[in-house]
Amino acid sequence: MKAELPELELIRRDLERELIGRKVKEASAAGMAALPRYKNRKSFAAQLEGTKITAVHRLGEYLLFPLDSEDIFVIRTGEGMLRRNANKDKEEKGTEIVVTFTQGGQLRYIDEDGTGEVAVVPKDDVMSEFPDLNDPAIDAIDTPLSWLSFRDILEQETTTLKEVLTNGKVLVGIGPMYADEVLFDAGLRYDRKSTSLSTQEVRRLYRSLVETMHNVIKYRGTTLEDRPWADVFGEPGTFDQHLQVFGRDGELSPRSRTPIQRSKFKGEWTYYCETQV
């Protein structure tokens, strides 16, 4: 499962508390799947071993760990997972990278399908080595934005609201589920043209976007049967208990007490209430 924006931010916050000041004793890779920039596993390990993590940042969908060696440990998780483990814990299937600290256990990267990437690069080369980091996509958690700037984005896109919300080149890490929740909270239909909103509706949509992302963080992510999210400690999130429309077709809407609707849109189910306009 690819982590979305609120889950990525949860990972960053948890690892910030867990890893700053930790010194790497040993780094190992099961294979080369997560190391496309390297010729062998030893060269990756050599860059990490003996270094200390000084900070934990997130830029879009990338996690950045500055090291006291003036390098940055970079992880693009893809559909993989990061876990904090004790050294003695059994390794999960698909464990690609294990970073062992002199004190404080391990950080493991698990990616059965080879969708992510791990590397250590000089701090001055990060933006050039990972061009996606230069992506101007808006981060609804990390980047304060005026409603005027958000209106400009909507007017530039000239498409439907759900397409704007789920476009990774426009907004970081928002999938169909969170888009449906944001649109319900804002009272706007998924197929409404992004250029058709009034000033009040633009403000409401942006507020709903930010508030929904922070609410997901508050409840530590969303774990569903077909979306097996778990945090770095292996614990599931509970935002599924607070979903208002997604996956709840036929149930009574919390706003109108009429059944929540479900329609196919761009090949996927979209969930909404008849009060959305």
Burial of 250 (0-12, 13-18, 19+ CB in 10 A): exposed
CATH number of 5-134, picked from 3.20.20.80, 3.20.190.10, 3.50.50.60, 3.40.50.720: 3.20.190.10
Model confidence over 109-142: pLDDT tens digits? Answer: 999 999 999 999 999 999 999 999 998 799 999 9
Alpha carbons 133 and 62: distance in angstroms, whole number? 8
pLDDT for the residue numbered 145: 87
186 and 204 in contact (C-beta within 8 Å)? yes
The reply to whether 147-272 shares the fold of 5-134 is no
- Could you give the dihedral angle defined by the CA atoms of residues 253, 259, 264 and 266, in that order, rounded to the nearest 10 degrees? -20
pLDDT for the residue numbered 147: 87
Alpha carbons 223 and 270: distance in angstroms, whole number? 18
CATH class assigned to 147-272: mainly alpha
Nearest to 55 by CA among 77, 86, 31, 22: 22
pLDDT for the residue numbered 2: 87
Alpha carbons 71 and 51: distance in angstroms, whole number? 9
Residues in Cβ contact with 111 at an 8 Å cutoff, skipping those fewer than 6 apart: 33, 34, 77, 78, 79, 80, 81, 94, 96
pTM over 0.85: yes
What values do phi and psi take at 263, rounded to 5? -135, 150
* Residue boundaries of the structural domains of the chain: 5-134, 147-272
Query: Does pLDDT of 270 surpass 90?
Result: yes
Question: What are the E-state strand segments in the chain?
Answer: 24-29, 57-59, 62-66, 71-76, 81-85, 95-101, 106-110, 117-122, 261-265, 268-272
Place of tokens 């003695």: 88
Model confidence over 140-165: pLDDT tens digits? Answer: 999 888 889 999 999 999 899 999 99
Alpha carbons 231 and 164: distance in angstroms, whole number? 27
